[in-house]
């Protein structure tokens, strides 16, 4: 194990060689995002690791699934914007976290609304998809089966019952009255099958809507991958806990990009938020398996499973209107799609 790197501005934490790779990865991954959106030809990077393997964007909201959620699920002119309906759509989408599952439900049932929701109808569509051998859940994270809490043999049935319980508890209205992201996180965390990681991801997704108005700099919960990345970047945390280390990265971002001579292009003026810095630790954990194989994480994983497969068309960008980014995108010469 190499000796800790002592950087005066990081004291008391001591960084490893992976620490600088964190910033270099963030800058190049964001550069790839912009090259792709400008319509440049593949490959969008000369970095062989980024060109070979699949990594999420530097900004979570720029990823394909988050973009779909924001544009096609939350900000829909043809569907109700009431807190219960918006919450129902977000949670139904995120429980499965798979665009194809949402589109399957829309094709089979029409507009997805809580007003017209019936357990039997949704169960039949999802059960039919499973029987046909289709995956209805994303592999991005694992939803616990929930059979102990809700008593059904099929995982999707338990999750529909979980959502029903949330709606019966008037959780959307209670979240709308919540003042802090941590309080919203705790409300979600109280439900069966939802642990720390899922509660944080869900409250972040809910906060893309107008239902809540939290700053993404208020609160952070590191997931398992981020914990591995943190361990690889910091040989000695210097008494700081994991959320404090993530906040340190968010606070230092401009200084570190400048120190390393990196041209990091922010999201039209929006700095990396805590959720983005958390995600970057997860991605750098994977990146370091190839670039810094001698630096071990908690899990001992040594391979990156998913290869990068380019798609032909860039995503038509649309961010939460309350961020006030969409007009800036237009001024930059890129035309975001209108909400549908």
Q: What is the pLDDT of residue 336?
A: 52
Examine the pLDDT at 7 and tell me if it is beyond 80: no
Examine the pLDDT at 93 and tell me if it is beyond 60: yes
Q: What is the pLDDT of residue 141?
A: 86
Q: Quick check: 29 and 261 in contact, CB under 8 A?
A: no
Mean pLDDT of the chain: 93
| Domain boundaries defined on the chain | 8-61+235-311, 76-206
Q: Provide the percentage of residues in the chain whose pLDDT is more than 70.
A: 94
Q: What is the pLDDT of residue 35?
A: 93
Those residues whose C-beta lies under 8 Å from the C-beta of residue 74, and which sit 6 or more positions away, are 86, 89, 90, 208, 209, 320
Tens of pLDDT along 292-332?
999 988 888 888 988 998 875 667 899 999 999 999 997 77
Tens of pLDDT along 43-78?
899 999 999 999 999 999 999 999 999 999 999 999
Q: What is the pLDDT of residue 340?
A: 45
Tokens 């005066």, residue located: 8
pTM over 0.75: yes
Assigned token pair, 310: 């380019």
Q: What is the pLDDT of residue 296?
A: 86
Q: Quick check: 27 and 59 in contact, CB under 8 A?
A: no
Q: What is the pLDDT of residue 204?
A: 98
Question: Phi then psi for 91, rounded to 5 degrees?
Answer: -70, -40
Mean pLDDT of 98-125: 97
Q: What is the pLDDT of residue 275?
A: 98
Tens of pLDDT along 123-143?
999 999 999 999 999 988 889
pLDDT tier for residue 335 given thresholds of 50, 70 and 90? low
Q: How many CB atoms lie within 10 A of CB 60?
A: 21
Assigned token pair, 272: 């990396």
Q: Quick check: 253 and 271 in contact, CB under 8 A?
A: yes
């Amino acid at each position: 194990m190499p000796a800790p790197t002592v950087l005066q501005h990081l004291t008391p934490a001591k960084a490893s060689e992976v620490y600088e790779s964190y910033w270099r990865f963030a800058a190049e991954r964001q550069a790839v995002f912009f090259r792709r959106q400008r319509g440049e030809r593949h490959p969008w990077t000369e970095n062989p690791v980024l060109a070979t393997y699949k990594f999420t964007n530097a900004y979570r909201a720029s990823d394909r699934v988050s973009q779909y959620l924001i544009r096609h699920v939350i900000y829909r002119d043809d569907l109700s914007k009431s807190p219960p309906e918006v919450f129902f759509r977000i949670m139904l989408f995120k429980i499965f976290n798979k665009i194809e599952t949402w589109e399957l439900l829309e094709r089979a049932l029409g507009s997805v609304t809580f007003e017209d929701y019936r357990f039997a109808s949704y169960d039949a569509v999802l059960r039919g998809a499973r029987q046909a051998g289709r995956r209805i859940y994303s592999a991005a994270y694992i939803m616990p089966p929930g059979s102990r809490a809700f008593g059904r043999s099929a995982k999707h049935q338990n999750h529909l019952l979980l959502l029903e319980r949330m709606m019966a508890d008037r959780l959307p209205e209670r979240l709308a009255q919540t003042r802090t992201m941590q309080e919203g996180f705790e409300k979600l965390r109280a439900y069966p099958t939802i642990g720390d990681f899922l509660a944080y991801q869900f409250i972040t997704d809910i906060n893309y809507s107008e239902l809540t108005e939290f700053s993404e700099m208020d609160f952070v919960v590191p997931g398992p991958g981020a914990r591995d990345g943190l361990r690889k970047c910091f040989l000695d945390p210097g008494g700081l806990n994991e959320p404090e280390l993530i906040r340190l990265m968010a606070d230092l971002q401009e200084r570190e990009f400048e120190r390393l001579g990196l041209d990091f292009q922010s999201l039209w003026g929006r700095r990396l938020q805590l959720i983005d810095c958390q995600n970057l630790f997860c991605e750098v954990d994977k990146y370091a398996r190839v670039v810094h194989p001698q630096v071990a994480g908690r899990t001992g994983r040594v391979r990156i499973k998913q290869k990068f497969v380019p798609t032909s068309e860039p995503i038509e960008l649309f961010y939460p209107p309350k961020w006030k980014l969409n007009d800036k995108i237009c001024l930059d010469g890129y035309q975001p799609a209108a909400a549908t």
